[in-house]
Amino acid sequence: MQPAVGPARPALPLSEIYGLTPEESIQAVLDYLSKGEHRLGLSLATGSGKTVIFSHLIGRIPAPTKKAYQTLILAHRSELVEQAARHCRDLYPGHVVEIERAERHASGLADITVASIQSLLSGNGDRLRKYDPSRFKLLLIDEAHHIAAKSYLDVLQHFGLLEYPLRTPTALVGVSATFSRADGISLGRAIDHIVYHKDYLDMIEDDWLASVIFTTVQSGANLSKVKSARGDFQTGSLSKAVNNDETNAITVRAWMAKANSRKSTLVFCVDLAHVTSLTAMFRHHGINAQFVTGDTPSKLRKERLDSFKRGEYPVLLNCGIFTEGTDIPNIDCIVLARPTQSRNLLVQMIGRGLRKHKGKKDCHIIDMVASLETGIVTTPTLFGLDPREIVNDADAKGLRSLKERKESEKARQDHAASLTSATGFSLENMQGDVTFTDYEDVNDLIEDTSGERHIRALSQFAWVQIDDNRCVLTSNNGDSLQLKKAEQKYEVWFTQTLPPEARGKSPFMKPRLISSVTSFEHAVRAADTFAKERMPFQIISKHAAWRRGPASDGQIAYLNKFRGEDERLTPEKVAKGKAGDWITKIKHGARGRFNKILGQKRKAEKKLQKQEATEAMQTVRVGPVAK
């Protein structure tokens, strides 16, 4: 069939069909295209109808040349391909829409082609070569956080979207809810501008998404020995830790206590064995639970999914099937029985329940939280809260309010502390309290490892916290990474040791900025990715065997220089890893920090004594009057 030439003819406006108002996001894309920009990103939360919204872009983007009127949509899973094609056929009934996937070969000439990335690159490149770049006005990529993968870059290369300067007529628009990678590496090789972003809170407040309630439940799972790979837990290792009768029973009881009245619950599990065991546990408690996995025959899978959408049973379990691009709007409860280190995966799982649906008031997210020590990412971290925060039936506004209150309290404490040492200010004239951690001497400060808890929960490496805004990771040759907070951003700096023959006054090269991001978690990922490339893993790993051995004579001698005669260390009293951490703190300013804290503490004590004396004079008590 010959493609119909000309601009797409849209059906009803998007706002009339879906109740959305996406004009702001579409206009942002058009504005950047009008400026000559070609590689754009559109960031929309999961559940916001990304496929529907980007489909509307097709009819709004003009053809840059007479023959460049075609559009290619790329997806990486069959469900996403079929879903995008269905939306385009509904929206543009006068245009030819073809699918390039598996045995279905498109002509390369259709107005709109929806392709699986795997199929497009199969067949020695023949399937890709039939798409003439000069005929395409638009390349749309769904779930574009995958765009830095080699497969996508190969397609971009074919369309001339990796050349500089760009000469292609084709515009690239990538759409995703999670424009970041688990390893912290930038997507900048493929996308130049994120032109629009709307996060969960914005979309919930603007009534694009359903309201949400969060509950965290301590699952009791011990993940201390679970291995990690590529930014998340290894599936097999995680399943052994999570898939047991005790943890599964806690999960089911939590659902019964908090969500028994919910009509449609989607449960995310670790693997096939976990799906089977947890399904059996739900059924053991009298709950009609079904499951869908990648091995479920397509016909049976469709039957179970359709039955779930009709509300014929309350609980559907899966593992890795419904994290992206699945449209089940009736979901009103999500159970996260699959712990993760990936913020992207957490966002995608939660997003499955946020699509609005008739008769649906909100979606309840039940997060089965395991040990903090393992680097787990939990729902509180999405709102900037400490991962240890326990929440019970809190909505998004409540969590944001909690974050703001904690930030305000922290700011007040920081402000009070800073004023104690600021020139021109008198502590006696200040109002409010300052909170200090008491250190009897500098060694107490050096030996305090509580600050490392958060960053080591996110990282596999032995980071050392120097102060409230700075962490350091060192190698055996003197190289170091420094992660520090700078105003509203988190920066990662790398300092490299100079070879002996090149050393002058300093043995180090000038520090080099590696990453500057707004998220602490993202900064840790970027720093860890860099560390893997530049530092020996066996040296920087927090689980390295050498860290558990006794401290060396050299370490003990160095540390004892700062200790009194009655506080001397011996190798059997301290492990080599801990001694190394203490030395790092000393070399990066612990002594100066202690002196500053000591000065602040003395000033605060003087202020307190004065306040107590004033209160004593103003207080009337029954009894003898002081002479």
Low-confidence ranges of the chain (pLDDT < 50): 1-20, 371-374, 418-446, 594, 597-598, 611, 613-627
What CATH code is assigned to 14-204?
3.40.50.300
Residue 11: which of 77, 89, 63, 67 has the closest Cα? 89
Phi first, then psi, for residue 43 (nearest 5°) are -105, 110
Count CB neighbours of 549 within 10 A. Answer: 12
Sheet holding 489-495, edge to edge: 464-467, 470-474, 480-486, 489-495, 512-517
**Phi-psi region for residue 77, left (φ > 0), alpha (ψ -120 to 50) or beta?**
beta
pLDDT at 588: 80
219 closest CA partner among 260, 254, 266, 267:
254
Fold match between domain 14-204 and domain 210-392: yes
Q: What is the largest CA-CA distance in the chain?
A: 108
The CATH homologous superfamily of the domain defined by 210-392: P-loop containing nucleotide triphosphate hydrolases (3.40.50.300)
For residue 412, the model assigns a pLDDT of: 58
Q: Sign of dihedral through CA atoms 146, 149, 155, 156?
A: positive
Please classify residue 595 by burial: count the beta carbons closer than 10 Å to its beta carbon, then call 0-12 exposed, 13-18 middle and 19+ buried: exposed
Beta-sheet pairing, 39-44 with 70-75: unpaired
Report the SS3 class of residue 518: coil
CB 343 within 8 A of CB 458: no
E strand residue ranges, 296-405 = 315-318, 333-336, 362-369, 394-395
Question: Residue ranges per domain, the chain?
Answer: 14-204, 210-392, 396-434, 442-590
Name the pairing type of β-strands 315-318 and 289-292. Answer: parallel
Question: Which pLDDT score is estimated for 7?
Answer: 37
CA distance 17 to 70: 25
Q: What local confidence, expressed as pLDDT, does residue 606 receive?
A: 63
Residue length, the chain? 627
Strand 232-233, strand 464-467: pairing: unpaired
pLDDT value of residue 614 = 39
pTM for the model stands at 0.58
Cα three-residue angle 497-503-508, rounded to 5 degrees: 30
- pLDDT value of residue 387: 56
Work out the angle at residue 231's Cα, subtended by the Cα atoms of residues 331 and 271, and round it to the nearest 5 degrees: 50
Q: What are phi and psi of 465, to 5 degrees?
A: -85, 125
Which token pair is 520? 């602490």
The strand pairing partners of 90, in sequence order, are none
